[in-house]
Amino acid sequence: MRVFKSLVLLFLVPVVRGSMVQLKNAGYEDIVIAINPELPENHNIIRNIQDMVKEASTYLFTATKQRFFFKAVKIIIPLHWLPKPEYLSVKTESYDKADVIVANSFLKYGDDPYTLQYGGCGEKGRYIHFTPNFLLNDNLYNIYGSRAKVFVHEWAHLRWGVFDYNNDAPFYVSVNSGNASIEATRCSADVTGQYIVQTCTGNSCTTRECKYDEQTKLYEAGCKFIPNKIQISPASIMYMQSLPSVVEFCDQSTHNEKATNMQNKICNYKSTWEVIMNTTDFSNTSPINSSSPPFETSFSLLQTKDRVVCLVLDVSGSMDWNNRINRLYQAAEIFLLQIIEMGSWVGIVTFHSTAQIACSLRQIVSENVRRDLITYLPTSAGGGTNICQGVYKGFEVIKQKYPNPDGSEIVLLTDGKDSSMSSCLSEVKNSGSIIHTIALGPSAAPELEQFSDMTGGLKLYATDTVDSNGLTDAFSGISSGSGNISEQSIQLESTALSVAVKQWMNGTVTVDSTVGKDTFFVVTWDGITTPPDILLQDPKGKEYRTSNFTVSNLNLRTALQIAGTAEVGDWLYWMQNNHVAPQVISMIVTSRAASMDVPPVTVKAHMNKDTNNFPNPMVIYAEVSQGFLPVLGATVMATVEPQTGSAVELKLLDDGSGADITKNDGIYSKYFTSFKGNGRYNLKVHIQGRSQTVRLGRRQSRALYVPGYIENGEIKMNAPRPEPSDEEIQAKLGSFNRVATGGSFVVENVPSGGFTDVFPPCKITDLEAQFEEDKIHLSWTAPGNDLDEGQADRYIIKMSENFLDLRNTFDNATSVNTSSLVPKPAGTKESFQFKPENITIENGTIIYFAIRAIDSASLISEVSNVVQAALFVPPKESLPETLPTEVITNSVPTLGSLTDTLPTDVINDGVNVSIIVLIVTGSVIAVLIAVSITICILHKKNRKGGPELRM
């Protein structure tokens, strides 16, 4: 039997947990809107949320043709806000599972509402983010429109997985009646306006018509489409919801399928309404014969409370196998010493055939309480398995202190099966508690995850493989769902290796500037009682030896805790196996936020679904962010460990190809197809960022920031959107390391004897085309043999002067000769140039292209995004007909005075009165000069004619 020793430990950023929204009789219920715990108490936030959703319910009802409305909403109030009689207690709701989050943005740049979307067309988003300023500042109405319209815009992202009409490319070439022109990317194309460039220096701004870019032949950088305030088009909510006329989503009749936007690219050129019609929401409802929603939105105000956790631990006979009881002790000890937040209440229950209370609830107010709780952890195993008895006893422990267990948590760990589990499902569902489940080993009850599904808890899994740190990682992933990231432990490293006798294990852990408080280095091993030889060196060269660590043979103690704030930089470690046999040695490092004012870099990892039926592929996601802003340029490696067989390691990418929907959104993705059999799998990701390559970005799927409007012929510009500089956002980040658990998932129907190639190359989604003299240049990211892994066998490229040919009848379109084109490995940039034949190329020529890939088993990918190569020769620059070359405003518009943007002498059609005066004056002068010259000529002639005419 192996005995594990440890020298301290770690924590994982939690798995993203799903929404609990229900649709009943056309009404959405159980929508959770959570206020960030860092926000000061302000009841206007609550009032404005209620007003927004009530108005949005009517707007949604109309926009969806009387199909949907908002029926019941829960608002989570922070713990530190003063309690009120109308505040109820949270049950299974929490901040990190909320559908809408109200929180300040990092770096204080802008108030763009947005929806975090991981998946493809029709897949639900993660959450909507509003800043408190968006909810409180009425001056933002002119930029985004009413809050109700914005909420419906974002709800469409969140619930139905649609995309924006304006965030991929701002302009494209269009040909109407044989005439080519540059059009703004919008839907519908009937939205009218002007193309304007605004330049501001200090408090002075100049506004002029856009010019053409010599290289792209489109409008120049900085050109904005300024819409007319008064429109006749009712669509679309997903383009410019702020326009008064907009009350509909684009449908098949109004959709602009040729525009270069995310909706067309991701949703295969379908309109928003077509995507909505294809959802289960739509198929499960019918229109209501009413002009308004049948119910007014109701609201419940729920306040969070102190965290209450009861560990319910299996000590049945099978826990003696594979050293499970000792590994349980080690992992639970780590949870109690380092993971569970200060101020939390913790109890311990053990169970086999019956259940026992090991320790009633105690509040963690000091390190002594943590150490005392460890003494109640089990050290021996025996007996049968009765999971329900353990759960009942857990409820009993919680009710001893809190008669109402709402919002409490149970961490349920078991390695065995229990045929009587169904007997307590009803009590679990109605308990108001959240149950996190940890399945240990290959024989844990397959029904275990039902407890988590019903209560919104985490689903975690650990194999018996020693060198994966699986059980420790599982416990470390169970953090508070309060949203207070400054309280949570951040995992910087978790790695293990089988080390031969007298050999070394070494590595580097980067402590970045966003963490450093409460930094712990933990070393575990499984051989003799004495630890390996350890050398740890900080960035300044200070050394820590084995003697600096606190070692205990019975329990994990705070072995090496770095005093104060750990030095920023690379920490180096070396560990030598001094045992007489090979042993597994691991290094685990955790820390906390260095400052409450600067959020740490965090990672959230998960699969696209919890259960999967072969041969459907799965997708791995890892979201890397800092204070709601995406972190770009990191290296993200995912490890998937099956129930049987060896682990699979994959590199996740944020390049907008393959499984990754959007480039540079901080969400790193990869298809997973390496199924090793049926059963449970677990996910873990390692992230490394280097200061030379990482930077922050902006969220996608944002409500459109309208640059201005044209009202009665007068251009009224809004304040420019605030943008952080590249230097600022890069300097604040630096190098970092992170590790996160992605929980567990279950795979079924995998053939027992292995399987042949069933996965085609993935769809190419980033195809681009352009004219280069008389040739066409195409570029895209190479797919793989199996989706985005491996190497495809060949390509099929088609072209047509008709967009619909490629979208609807790809095989019948004109083929491009690709005999010389050999696919590169997946993820590599491809480039192909050729001269089109049998096509007359002239100004206004538009040729459309699409591509498919074929693998070695002749499996064919979906048709790529359709792109255009347009030959457009801009007209010669001429004086604008409706706008002077430069119009100087009195001052930069502010959010408090958005209409004071142009001088009063700008009248209808943008014609300046002073220019009219100058033109008229010039004309009069010209006439007078002509008359004077004529008189002089006549006068001279008369003088020559005779003396009688002399004056």
Contacts of 948 (CB under 8 A, 6+ apart): none
144 backbone dihedrals φ, ψ, rounded to 5°: -110, -15
Of the candidates 767, 777, 808, 807, the residue with the CA atom closest to the CA atom of residue 870: 777
Distance of CA 476 to the CA centre of its chain: 23
Tell me the C-alpha distance between 751 and 678, whole Å: 8
Residue-wise DSSP of 352-420: SSSEEEEEEEEE--SHHHHHHHHTTS-----S---HHHHHHHHHHHHHHH-SS-TT-EEEEEESS--TT
Antiparallel, parallel or unpaired: β 27-29 and 69-70 = parallel
* Per-residue 3-state assignment (H helix, E strand, C coil) for 412-470: EEECCCCCCHHHHHHHHHCCCCEEEEEEECCCCCCCHHHHHHHHCCCEEEECCCHHHCH
Quick one: DSSP state of residue 883? S
How wide is the angle at C-alpha 50 spanned by C-alphas 49 and 52, nearest 5°? Answer: 65
Of the candidates 845, 846, 863, the residue with the CA atom closest to the CA atom of residue 809: 863
Catalytic annotation present for 154:
yes
Contact status, residue 517 vs residue 565, Cβ threshold 8 Å: yes
499 backbone dihedrals φ, ψ, rounded to 5°: -110, 130
Token pair of 136 as six digits = 């409180």
What is the length of the chain?
A: 951
Tell me the C-alpha distance between 213 and 310, whole Å: 64
Contacts of 103 (CB under 8 A, 6+ apart): 35, 36, 38, 39, 129, 131, 132, 483, 628
Distance of CA 910 to the CA centre of its chain: 42
Per the listing, tokens 């041969």 go with 615
Of the candidates 903, 916, 913, 907, the residue with the CA atom closest to the CA atom of residue 717: 903
Quick one: DSSP state of residue 759? -
Which of the residues 154, 487, 714, 830 is marked catalytic? Answer: 154
Burial profile 633-663: b = 16 or more Cβ within 10 angstroms, e = fewer: bbebbbbbbbbeeebbebebbbebbbbbbbb
Tell me the C-alpha distance between 239 and 241, whole Å: 6
Active site residues: 154
